[in-house]
Structure 1
Amino acid sequence: MPQRPSGSSGSGPRGAGTRREDQRPEEAAPRRGSEEPRRGSTHGTDAPRRGGKPEADPPGERGFGISEARAYTPRGRTVRERTPRTGRTTDPFRPALQVVEGGKPRAPRRPAPEEQPRGGNGRAAAGGTGRAGGNGGRTGGNSRQRAEQPAGRTEAPPRVRRKSTTAAVPAPRKRTTAAKASAAAKRPPAPRKRAPRRPPRLMDQRRRLRLGTVLALTVFATIGIRIVTMQFTESPAFAEKGLQTRLDRVDLPAPRGAIYDRGGAVLAHSVEARYVAVDPELVTDLEKTAAALQPLIAVPKSELIAKMAKRQQPGGGPSRFEYLARGVSIADGQRVEALDLAGIIVDRDERRQVPGQDLAASIIGFTSQDLNGLEGLEARYDDLLRGVDGKRVFEVGQGSLNAEIPGGYNRTTEAQPGSSLQLTIDRDLQYFVQKTLAERMAQAKAYTGAAVVLDVRTGEVLAQASYPTYDAAQPLKSKAEDREDTATSFVVDPGSVHKAITIGAALQEGAVKPTDTFVVGPRVRKGDQWFKDTHTNWTPKRMSIPGILAYSSNVGTIAIADKLGKEKLYEYQKKFGLGTATGVGVPGEASGLLLPPGKWSGSSYGSVPIGHSVAVTPLQMAAAYAAIANDGTWVQPHLVKETIAPDGKRTPTAPPVTRQVLSPENAQTLRQMLEAVTSVEGATGVRAAVDGYRVAGKTGTGSRVVNGQYVSGSVASFVGMAPAENPRYVIAVFAHTPAGGGGEVTAPAFHDMMGYALTHFGVPASSGKPPKFVVYP
């Protein structure tokens, strides 16, 4: 192991034992004990001790520079461990460190700019270890000193600074020869290591701690604010939501209003019933359950099995409720409950009951299983009859305690029953008219028939029958066309019953007088068509107006219409209510159709006056004849007399619309002329006469119009009134038959219906006989 060099102060390249001769006095190192503090010394004024005061160097010790301060050893020795006189380090491990470093003293290191001494020390240059030369002016010299070095001296390359957590003790520098100095100068400088990077901010523990603290405080503050908000501002809403999860509801159905006849007899009403339903998820044995239910609810077994089978709802999820039967009687519902079948539900229901079954079914209509009106007056007045359902909401427990909580939330909204309707229909008269119509239509093999009974003074519909009809208690078992109200939907060419309107308008306008006569031949041409009378063998004769009505002369009626004019005829058609729905209250009422004068063709002058090219309903024609019977005043027909509130208060319906069409005198004259139809021998309507009463009316034969087209067959009709001297009722009968006129098909039906109506309402018989009419003056 090489020995540590001696500490003589001999000269060297940058030796530091003695002061160089060329060094200026002011640059010499200060003496010991000098009052000037030494830079880099721990005893100087720049580095006070713990006591707070600077401490001077002990006597006999030299100061040391920054380069010497780094000469710490791994064993904890300091630079104070020097020889008192030479100032050399007495570190016994220095030779060993020198061997580790390659057996040579460390090359001098060029100081970094930041390591340059601020004022120069000078004292380090006088050190005895030769380290001042290695430091390159770091502690004692400066650039000026280096510039004044002898020319023969070569400065060693800077020493590479080693990275170490502790200061390495540099090896003492030996004096080198010129050759060694030259070789050292040629040696490439060691690469300078970069200073270690400063760690990123987030790797700083203090920064991370501060950031985590801020985030935690922010989260806690947000949660606290939210809790306060929920507690003081949103707590009622959350309490309400929580209550909703514990509430159960039971609907209280509102009883549907009833429908009564004019005397208070029930035509349709609601009764308490039961429904039978199933939860498919709970049924264990389909076959056994269906077999047990079939005889009690009258539903086929195959249908029950299909309804009880498990299925998925359209929106997803299993179906948990399916009706098996609605409107089951209370007794049958109790029998189903007694079976205690898994998955079967029995609860309160309501059923619409129609005591008369098919009685006035076409007028009353029917409802769905949910009691919503679908047809007839049930649909027209559904909002009035239905009422408002009530409900009972109460708090229940959860799980096994799923029962009402005594003293818990409980609120009941009472159901508001629907109002009832009292119709103008008379139940007994309706039954007789409906029965008679069915019998007569069956005899005539008619396709469709209708009959209407009106009170001429009030416009009330006392009976309105249709053929065929259906059972309103089981509406789905009938055909859709059988459920139509024929009196308001049966659109026909009225035929000869229209002649009373033509003659009444001519009398009112003064176009003819009651005593006028007309020459009536076998036929007349209008446009491209011939119009003839039904009595084909007639020769041209003069005929009175009553005779024209009695024998239903087409030629005579056309002659009267020629004097009246098409504009006036059209005007009176509208005044008599043709071409406009009456508004009786039945949904789907047809309005009929009139031919305006501007659209008349040549043949229209012959067809319109006798009731062709005109579309009307039986109810419209009945209202027109009621105007003749009511001294010329047309009264709007109506079916509803009054409404009855749930508390029993009765409210009459709005008064019907009225208008004056004929003067009372002309109306009375026309009524007398119409009596000829039932009293003159051989007249077309003699079969409509009623014993003991004077009857005025008119027969007709027309065609049926369906979707604007005529259909095969003929429409026979008779419209009349009685007693003719003071009419009380008007009855119109229409029938679509394969063949036949009003005199053969509908006049007998009128006879039966009018006879019953007069006796049913106790109308006194006529005091006199009908007048004698002169047909051929």
Structure 2
Amino acid sequence: MAPRRGSDEPRRGSTRGADAARRGGKPDEDPPAERGFGISEARAYTPRGRTMRERTPRTGRTADPFRPALQVVEGGKPRARRPAAAEPEREPGGTAGRASGGGQPRGANRTETPPRVMRKGTPPPVPPPRKRTTAAKAAAAADRPVRTARRGAGTRRDDPRRHGGPPPPRKRAPRRPPKLVDQRRRLRLGTVLALTVFATIGIRLVTMQFTESPAFAERGLETRLDRVDLPAPRGAIYDRGGAVLAHSVEARYVAVDPELVSDLPKTAAALEPLIAVPKSELLAKMAKRKQPGGGASRFEYLARGVDIAVGQRVEALKLPGVIVHRDERREVPGQDLAASIIGFTSPDLNGLEGLEARYDELLRGVDGKRVFEVGQGSLDAEIPGGYNRETKAQPGSSLRLTIDRDLQYMVQKTLGARMEQAKAYTGAAVVLDVRTGEVLAQASYPTYNAAQPLKSKPESREDTATSFVVDPGSVHKAITIGAALQEGAVKPEDTFMVGPNVTKGDQRFKDSHTNWTPRRMSIPGILAYSSNVGTIAIADKLGKEKLYEYQKRFGLGTATGVGVPGEAAGALLPPDDWSGSAYGSVPIGHSVAVTPLQMAAAYAAIANDGTWVQPHLVKETIAPDGKRTPSAQPTTRQVISAEHARELRLMLEAVTTVKGATGVHAAVDGYRVAGKTGTGSRVVNGKYVSGAVASFVGMAPADNPRYVIAVFAHTPGGGGGEVTAPAFHDMMGYALTHFGVPLSSGKPPKFVVYP
């Protein structure tokens, strides 16, 4: 761009004025056109008439079109701005003094453009040092005189200090801009932070993928899984011959998912006539509820063990939320047959009473489970090919009892008939194999239907053979006499003077067969007529300590462990606790608490040549694979010698053979029978209750005993001879015939009651 014409004033920053000053003359007034236009002048030229050094750096975009070109000349970077020198004072006319030339340059009256003001807070850029070129050095050298002349321009009188005025304010040097943070350091720090964040995220992702992924997958799968229990078939209970006494049969259960039921009243009304559950109960079960651990309840049983046909009818209704699935139902073919022994289960097949409860863990097995993946919402169905795991149910083991079903039926039927005839409150009957201790039959009165146990009374479900605690009465006399024989206190041929009564302590004891005149009686006669006075006389010779010892040997005062839950142990009176009357009451079977099963086991010891064998009901267990495991061998012990046992059995035959004896109604045609009648009292919670307990315990054949039967009955009144002896007759007669026992070869001896 050409310099402006029509003005002889040199531009600021030009070397023209400076050259003239150095020569001591006036500035060269040659027109610029005649003089050349050097590169240094081009460098110093700006459109606004200022040098690059005078311009205040701007922030942002500049409007100077020559600035990029000049930066190229200077090396591509802007030069550092030097602090401006102090300007001389101007005359009031607006002109300033010049160098030694003294004249005003042309164009002095022009108004100079004030320096551009930088924005507040914007620090001037600090260019990095640059290498100066030769031309730049020459221009700088040319500039220095001009600035010197400018600083020295004007007269001395223009200096305010010469007139005593205050010195001009000194301009402070501009503050150096704060040192910027090292960009490379910031970059390194940011890189490290970014890498740390990405490394942490990466490690977490790897951990979740390879270490925790199974847990997350399992949590997700849990929300899509459905479970169905597979009931384990409960083991069966068989009699000694393999006949089914109780077993489980296939059935159906009806359940509900309360979250899926759309119309409660309609669903309940449809199910009520099919599953025989009241509508009010159904509504309560189908109502939505929360589980104790949190979450909605998704399964509630409505009925269990329903017939397969009923389940199919319920399925045909297609009620929303109603579930029908395979189940089992406990079935007792004999209904009340051996119900007091077998017991019953709950609807979910847990044993509650009897052998079902005693052997519950062995019978019930382990339920299986099927877990499968289902869809959500309207696709709530099993996903084909999805997660599916099935744990097969492990069936329970079975029991084979010592009970004979046919004998059990006959004993139970006979007992019920005789008890109804005697208007008895309670009755019990036990049949034992004297050699093995096996319980062949065990009946209770009253009884109940084990297939529908909840419809019966609690007292009807008791096993009276093991829970019926009584004073045995005269059946205890065989223990007293057996102990005396074993201890040598008496001999079979001994006789005793028996009067009408005897007093012990503050109590008088008398016989039912009163001897108004004291007479001698044989031991068989004492047993035949159940003489209290004669038995007390024998006990006096034995002593209370020995009697107590033999009571325990015969198994009194201790539960037999037959296997039925709730078996009573009975009670004995220790010798130290005997009062004066105990010397008379204990030997004849009072002040003693026993169960019918205990007395049956005691007589079985007499029948088994003096060896007591523990009664038991379970013959063997049958595993699901068919393996059979016999029950543990029963406990045995010798109570009295075989010789004394035979002598005692012979004496007991007098009870059924002597004319007018108490047990003649127990005799069985063709067989020799030995036994004893009794009349005692029932003990409830340690106290006697009204009524009498009639009893008869006997064995047959007496010459070679096979079975012992004990019959007890709590009646309003009556002795063992009238109530229980006839029942014994019926039961023993059937047992001997049922098992094919040969008839006795000989006849019982003739007993002398009064020698």
1:272 aligns with 2:250: yes
1:642 aligns with 2:642: no
Whole-angstrom CA distance in 2 between matches of 1:718 and 1:173: 160
Residue 52 of structure 1: CA displacement? 12
Whole-angstrom CA distance in 2 between matches of 1:733 and 1:651: 32
1:436 aligns with 2:414: yes
Residue 445 of structure 1: CA displacement? 2.1
Tell me the equivalent position of 2:745. Answer: 767
2:650 to 664, 668, 672: 672
Tell me the equivalent position of 2:160. Answer: 175
The aligned runs of 1:734-745 (5 Å cut-off) are 734-745=712-723
Whole-angstrom CA distance in 1 between matches of 2:708 and 2:314: 53
Tell me the equivalent position of 2:303. Answer: 325
Query: Aligned in 2, Cα 1:690/1:228: closer, same or farther, shift over 3 Å?
Result: same
2:537 to 535, 559, 566: 559
CA deviation map 1:720-767 (0-9, x unaligned):
111111111111111122222211221121111111111111222222
Letter in 2 for 1:382: D
Whole-angstrom CA distance in 2 between matches of 1:92 and 1:206: 52
Do the aligned partners of 1:520 and 1:542 also contact (CA within 8 Å) in 2?
yes
Letter in 1 for 2:249: V
Tell me the equivalent position of 2:328. Answer: 350
Letter in 1 for 2:452: Q
Tell me the equivalent position of 1:693. Answer: 671
Tell me the equivalent position of 1:603. Answer: 581
Do the aligned partners of 1:130 and 1:173 also contact (CA within 8 Å) in 2?
no
Which segments of 5 or more consecutive residues in structure 2 lack a partner in the other structure? 1-52, 54-70, 76-81, 90-96, 115-143
1:493 to 467, 471, 481: 471
Residue 602 of structure 1: CA displacement? 2.1
Tell me the equivalent position of 2:117. Answer: none
Do the aligned partners of 2:88 and 2:150 also contact (CA within 8 Å) in 1?
no
CA deviation map 1:455-509 (0-9, x unaligned):
1111110110111111111111122222111111111111111110010011011
Query: Aligned in 2, Cα 1:289/1:175: closer, same or farther, shift over 3 Å?
Result: closer
Whole-angstrom CA distance in 1 between matches of 2:383 and 2:296: 30
Whole-angstrom CA distance in 1 between matches of 2:734 and 2:435: 19
Whole-angstrom CA distance in 2 between matches of 1:715 and 1:84: 161
Whole-angstrom CA distance in 2 between matches of 1:631 and 1:439: 34
1:415 aligns with 2:398: no
User: Secondary structure at the residue paired with 2:637?
Assistant: strand
Whole-angstrom CA distance in 2 between matches of 1:466 and 1:704: 16
1:547 aligns with 2:525: yes
Tell me the equivalent position of 1:282. Answer: 260
1:261 to 213, 236, 239: 239
Residue 531 of structure 1: CA displacement? 1.9
Query: Aligned in 2, Cα 1:469/1:92: closer, same or farther, shift over 3 Å?
Result: farther
CA deviation map 1:368-420 (0-9, x unaligned):
11111111111111111111222344455566665555555544433221111
Whole-angstrom CA distance in 2 between matches of 1:664 and 1:92: 163
Do the aligned partners of 2:99 and 2:150 also contact (CA within 8 Å) in 1?
no
User: Secondary structure at the residue paired with 2:599?
Assistant: helix
Residue 601 of structure 1: CA displacement? 2.2
Query: Aligned in 2, Cα 1:747/1:72: closer, same or farther, shift over 3 Å?
Result: farther
Letter in 1 for 2:450: A
Tell me the equivalent position of 2:39. Answer: none
Tell me the equivalent position of 1:152. Answer: none
Q: Pick which of 210-219 and 496-505 moved more.
A: 210-219
Query: Aligned in 2, Cα 1:693/1:91: closer, same or farther, shift over 3 Å?
Result: farther
Query: Aligned in 2, Cα 1:318/1:387: closer, same or farther, shift over 3 Å?
Result: closer
Tell me the equivalent position of 2:698. Answer: 720
Residue 175 of structure 1: CA displacement? 2.5
CA deviation map 1:88-144 (0-9, x unaligned):
99998999999xxxxxxxxxxxxxxxxxxxxxxxx99x9788899xxxxxxxxxxxx
Letter in 1 for 2:202: G
Whole-angstrom CA distance in 2 between matches of 1:652 and 1:380: 17
Query: Aligned in 2, Cα 1:89/1:404: closer, same or farther, shift over 3 Å?
Result: farther
User: Secondary structure at the residue paired with 2:516?
Assistant: coil
Residue 609 of structure 1: CA displacement? 1.0
The aligned runs of 1:237-256 (5 Å cut-off) are 237-239=215-217, 247-256=225-234
Whole-angstrom CA distance in 1 between matches of 2:333 and 2:751: 49
Whole-angstrom CA distance in 2 between matches of 1:752 and 1:200: 122
Residue 771 of structure 1: CA displacement? 1.2
Residue 525 of structure 1: CA displacement? 2.0
Whole-angstrom CA distance in 2 between matches of 1:434 and 1:97: 137
Query: Aligned in 2, Cα 1:178/1:305: closer, same or farther, shift over 3 Å?
Result: same
Tell me the equivalent position of 2:361. Answer: 383
Query: Aligned in 2, Cα 1:127/1:484: closer, same or farther, shift over 3 Å?
Result: same
Residue 578 of structure 1: CA displacement? 0.8
Do the aligned partners of 2:667 and 2:729 also contact (CA within 8 Å) in 1?
yes
The aligned runs of 1:291-302 (5 Å cut-off) are 291-302=269-280
Residue 580 of structure 1: CA displacement? 1.1
1:569 aligns with 2:554: no
Whole-angstrom CA distance in 2 between matches of 1:576 and 1:477: 39
Matched residue count: 640
Letter in 1 for 2:437: G
Whole-angstrom CA distance in 1 between matches of 2:677 and 2:417: 20
Residue 697 of structure 1: CA displacement? 0.7
Which segments of 5 or more consecutive residues in structure 1 lack a partner in the other structure? 1-41, 43-48, 54-65, 74-80, 99-122, 133-171
Whole-angstrom CA distance in 1 between matches of 2:345 and 2:253: 16
1:225 to 188, 203, 206: 203
User: Secondary structure at the residue paired with 1:772?
Assistant: coil
Do the aligned partners of 2:237 and 2:399 also contact (CA within 8 Å) in 1?
yes
Whole-angstrom CA distance in 2 between matches of 1:396 and 1:321: 16
Tell me the equivalent position of 1:523. Answer: 501
TM-score (norm 2): 0.77
Whole-angstrom CA distance in 2 between matches of 1:70 and 1:679: 161
Residue 607 of structure 1: CA displacement? 1.5
CA deviation map 1:420-441 (0-9, x unaligned):
1110111111111111111222
Do the aligned partners of 2:99 and 2:152 also contact (CA within 8 Å) in 1?
no
Tell me the C-alpha RMSD between the 2 structures.
3.8
Residue 695 of structure 1: CA displacement? 1.2
Do the aligned partners of 1:83 and 1:90 also contact (CA within 8 Å) in 2?
no
Tell me the equivalent position of 1:470. Answer: 448
Whole-angstrom CA distance in 2 between matches of 1:368 and 1:308: 21
Do the aligned partners of 2:559 and 2:570 also contact (CA within 8 Å) in 1?
yes
1:359 aligns with 2:337: yes
Letter in 2 for 1:175: P
Query: Aligned in 2, Cα 1:733/1:205: closer, same or farther, shift over 3 Å?
Result: farther
Query: Aligned in 2, Cα 1:489/1:131: closer, same or farther, shift over 3 Å?
Result: farther
Do the aligned partners of 1:129 and 1:173 also contact (CA within 8 Å) in 2?
no
Whole-angstrom CA distance in 2 between matches of 1:69 and 1:51: 25
Query: Aligned in 2, Cα 1:84/1:749: closer, same or farther, shift over 3 Å?
Result: farther
Whole-angstrom CA distance in 2 between matches of 1:659 and 1:72: 144
CA deviation map 1:24-56 (0-9, x unaligned):
xxxxxxxxxxxxxxxxxx9xxxxxx99999xxx
Whole-angstrom CA distance in 1 between matches of 2:223 and 2:274: 37
Whole-angstrom CA distance in 2 between matches of 1:68 and 1:304: 103
Percent identical across equivalent pairs?
A: 82
Query: Aligned in 2, Cα 1:669/1:452: closer, same or farther, shift over 3 Å?
Result: same
TM-score (norm 1): 0.75
Whole-angstrom CA distance in 1 between matches of 2:265 and 2:545: 75
2:285 to 307, 311, 325: 307
Whole-angstrom CA distance in 1 between matches of 2:84 and 2:110: 14
Query: Aligned in 2, Cα 1:339/1:405: closer, same or farther, shift over 3 Å?
Result: closer
